[in-house]
Amino acid sequence: MLTRSDIGYSASTFGAGMIVGARIAVPVIVAGLTGLWLRPFFISIGWLHAGDPFRKITFLIGLGLILGASLVDVSLVLWEAARRLRHASATAPVEDEPWKRMNLGRLVIWVLAWGAGVAITGTTLMGVPAGFMLFALALVFILVLVTGISTGMTDNTPISSAFVVTVVLLAALGLRDPGVGMITATVVLVSCGVAADMQQDRSTGWRLGTNRTIQFRYQVGGILVGAVMAVVYARLFMSAYPVLTLDQTSMTADQQPGAWASAMTYKFVGALRSLTDDKPYQRTAIWIGIAIGLVVQIVRLALRSNRAFQGFIAESRAGFATGFVLDAIVLPSPYAYAFGFFLNLSGSAWFAAGGTFSSLYKTWDEKRGRRVGEAAGLPTDMSPTSLMGGGLIAGDALAALSLGLIGLAHTLLGGATS
């Protein structure tokens, strides 16, 4: 009889697919199937050993895809920011509404103070060389833009990719100590994670008209509580689910657990091991991904700005189908496609299934609404399927937490009575 582990089912993975829809979720399974197809080739050139899962090398290509695409997007963001600054200097300043106002000076002081605190703590208590720590802090300002763009486009925050990028760059600067690499790259990891969460919160606050200063204070409070609870939950889950303590980077494809893919940890361990076991082909894989991501993103932007092509997509069923095939299969977003290079195939399949179900339901619901003359529906991220997907994620997390607490209590009580 098939079990949940055999099929790799995860309600949260299915729910995440429901949130983003088919155009983001389908590329994930396409990438997974591509990785499976390329696996024999990777073995033949020595990038994989027989029995290795494809993600042992494709996660590096996926990382490159994100970096390549972000080079284009970050350049456009900076160009637009420079254009607005020039335009703003030539026009009279417009006073923001009270809820939008914030004190830029205090924000700069806040960033500088905490940056200095992190640098001092890392160099004195953690023993990290000052040069490596300052380099990581400088990287934060770049990689926060990358993770922010990816989060906004695909609802996927590639903070683990920021970690790997930091390790790779530090290795190029001469770092060979995995412990120092982990501490230094974690600074970038946490910074990008917090920034992406704040970006999402600000988007929500913009819709609700929330006072930004008050919202920021609550965010700081949440970070303080989260810093403590993260340690508690890590100990709880690793005690309750021993599979989380296994090194999946040393497992064959047949040994990979279905229910706990640990994609983030997989990338961390693989990157840190490269510090002591240098493999030049890993850097080659990243560069290949960067080149592909760069080219694909440029082509996608060119098509998006082509009025004739956009008109064809919007005005006919054939155009809609063409647009979907390009978006989901032929020229998918590098941010979405890369996600399939991080996961096991079963995880990619359930993610794609959730996205496909969500998009099919939305299409049916829109047609039904037009027939009965209903008004336009809610924004995509507030649709019934998106909210249901969020519920599946929350329910799966609560179930895992509850089972973990029960299992831990049983272990403790069993040890006390024996």
Identify the pLDDT of residue 1: 37
Q: What six digits make up the tokens of 189?
A: 């990891």
Neighbours of 36 (CB within 10 A): 16
pLDDT of residue 5: 47
What is the rounded CA–CA span in Å between residue 26 and residue 33?
11
Stretches in the chain below the pLDDT threshold 50: 1-6
Q: What is the DSSP letter of 255?
A: G
Cα–Cα nearest to 339, from 18, 24, 22: 24
d(CA 338, CA 166): 18
d(CA 195, CA 150): 12
Amino acid letter, residue 360:
L
CA distance 381 to 373: 22
Q: What is the pLDDT of residues 45-88, one digit of tens each?
A: 999 988 888 988 898 898 889 888 888 887 887 788 778 777 76
The DSSP annotation for 48-116 comes to S-TT--THHHHHHHHHHHHHHHHHHHHHHHHHHHHHHHHHHHTS---PPPGGG---HHHHHHHHHHHHH
Q: Which two tokens stand for residue 89?
A: 């200097």
**What pLDDT was estimated at residue 378?**
57
pTM of this structure: 0.74
| Integer Cα distance of 217 and 86 in angstroms | 32
Length of the chain: 418
Residue 66 · residue 334 · CB < 8 Å: yes
pLDDT of amino acid 2: 38
